[in-house]
Amino acid sequence: MRYLYYGLFVIGAYLVLAMFPLFVLLVGPEIPGRGFWRELSVGLGFAGLAMMGLQFFLTGRFQGITSPYGIDVVYHFHRAISLLAFIFLLLHPLILLFSAPATLGLMNPVAAPEWITAGSIAFFAFALIVISSLYRQQLGLSYERWRMIHGYGAVAAVTLSLWHMIGVNYYLQGDVKRGLWIAITITWVLALLYIRLVKPLLMSRQPYTIEAVIPERCSSWTLILKPEGHAGMEFKPGQFVWLTIGKSPFSIREHPFSFSSSAMHPEKLAFTIKELGDFTNTIGSVSPGTRAYIDGPYGSFTPDRYQFSGYVFISGGVGITPVMSILRTFADRHELRPLLLFYGSKEWEEVTFREELELLQCQLNLQVVHVLTAPPEGWTGEQGFIDAEVMGRYLPQQRMDCEYFVCGPLPMQQGIRSALEQLGVPAEQVQSESFNFV
Amino acid sequence: MREKYAMHLALASGGLIFLVTILFALVQSPDILSASVQTGADVPHPLAGYESCDSCHGREGMMPYPVRHLGWSNNSCQGCHGRDDAAAP
């Protein structure tokens, strides 16, 4: 319940902050309206900009904002609400042109006042941000270049929008209202500065050294990190961080990875990473002794949020990583509750951590069910995909009292969720995180 | 599921903000709910023969209107600015 109320508070605060700048316009001496459509156009412009400005907070990885929902939900919300804000901003000139076609002449940058041109450029900057986010891969943009466009483009768009609003000089007449809007804009930009300057500065004071790079099965590598001159990082099992390796913490080259180590050992952190892309393909060549920086921990994919009488884990491929963190933590805590792991892999030789899982079955009240899509000859275990039938054979009778953790590719997550629904498991007891943003 | 949840949350929030924006537009255009009210200053000259307000009051005219009037057409001027009968022609 605590997370529910706090979540309501966070979304309520978001709505108040998104609408506050609109209410500011009505404060003070009465400003006559100029017809419904024109005022709707203006209102959408202000509201759209306020929503865009708040994105700096949504993407700032502030624990206070992410903790009730999980950072993946906040990022998906950011993506969806940005599209709506962009539609608002698109409607602003469209309604204006529709209700007063003479304004079309204002679009000519040669003859238009500077503040009109500033508004037009701001709109195109927002369009660039949205399009580059929706179609990054189709446009062949690297993650780093996309982040640069996203960050610098957002600051430029918001600043130009402020210039546009002040230039129009209708609702922002008077020092108080103008000052308030400038203060609001500065707050947005400060949030970005916190992310890009203050946070990296804090990270630079808590560096880590890569102690070992251990090859694992299935083209995966485990990085062992030791803190340099500090106690390390407290985290909950199943959480993740943004990791910067061999670069300055001010670099925009950082990537999210789940802990695979026990949360009981903040002084020795491990991340198991599968070779899946440009950056992860280079993990194996990272030299021990390389410096690393960590931003985190984040995520709500952890059994430490709610108490259940048992836990069921369903993972596919490298999705085993956060589950290993949970199981290792449980082993360190001498956990007695029943645990069940469904672990989907292609081949037996590709099963990452399979030897350690055998050991963990002895230490914990744990049953591991391997499900292989390409089993070896003579395989007597489960084969194919993890579905309702497979799970139904192993789930305990009191399955409603368990919490479920699903980690793997998005199609697998969707399949498992519907399978669990068929088995009567309430959706709110199924935890998963998805990071397929751009 | 979590993506859908976030999308529903965003749609609900965006919808609410849109409704408040409509409310803002309504508050600022009471004429849509009641009879039109003139709020601008009276026109200090005859209107007959001077229908093309932009000729003198456009941004390039002799007596340009304030910047905030940009976008209004000639037909809309008298919506707010009436004839001051006492004014000299």
Contacts of B71 in chain A (CB under 8 A): 38, 96, 100, 102-103, 106
Cis bond before residue A376 (omega within 30° of 0): no
pLDDT recorded at residue A171: 77
In DSSP notation, A42-92 reads HHHHHHHHHHHHHHHHHTTT-HHHHTTT-HHHHHHHHHHHHHHHHHHHHHH
Average pLDDT on B60-80 reads: 73
In which band, very low, low, confident or very high, does the pLDDT at B51 lie, cut at 50, 70 and 90? Answer: confident
In which band, very low, low, confident or very high, does the pLDDT at B64 lie, cut at 50, 70 and 90? Answer: confident
Residues 6+ apart with CB under 8 A from A374: A346, A347
CA–CA separation, B19 and A106 (whole Å): 28
Nearest alpha carbon to residue A3 among A211, A404, A304: A304
Strand, helix or coil for residue A172: coil
Average pLDDT on B15-34 reads: 83
ipTM of the complex, rounded to two decimals:
0.76
pLDDT digits (tens, 9 = 90+) for A224-278: 999 999 999 999 999 999 999 988 888 777 788 999 999 999 999 999 998 887 7
Q: Which residues of chain A have pLDDT under 70?
A: 1-2, 102, 435-438
CA–CA separation, B38 and B61 (whole Å): 24
Across A220-230, b (16+ Cβ under 10 Å) vs e yields bbbbbbebeee
pLDDT recorded at residue A363: 94
pTM given for the model: 0.76
Contacts of A42 in chain B (CB under 8 A): 25
The CA distance from B39 to the nearest CA of chain A, in Å, is 7
CA–CA separation, B31 and B28 (whole Å): 9
Mutate which of B1, B7, B17 to disrupt the A interface (most A C-beta within 10 Å)? B17
What H or E segment, with its residue span, contains residue A311?
Answer: strand A310-316
pLDDT recorded at residue B37: 46
Q: With beta carbons less than 8 A apart as the criterion, state whether A89 and A45 touch.
A: yes
C-alpha distances (whole Å) from A13 to each of A1, A17, A160, A167, B11 are: 18, 6, 26, 29, 16
CB contact under 8 A, B2 and A430: no
Instruction: Tokens 């081949």: give the residue.
Output: A347
Residues 6+ apart with CB under 8 A from B61: B54, B55
pLDDT recorded at residue A2: 67
pLDDT recorded at residue B86: 52
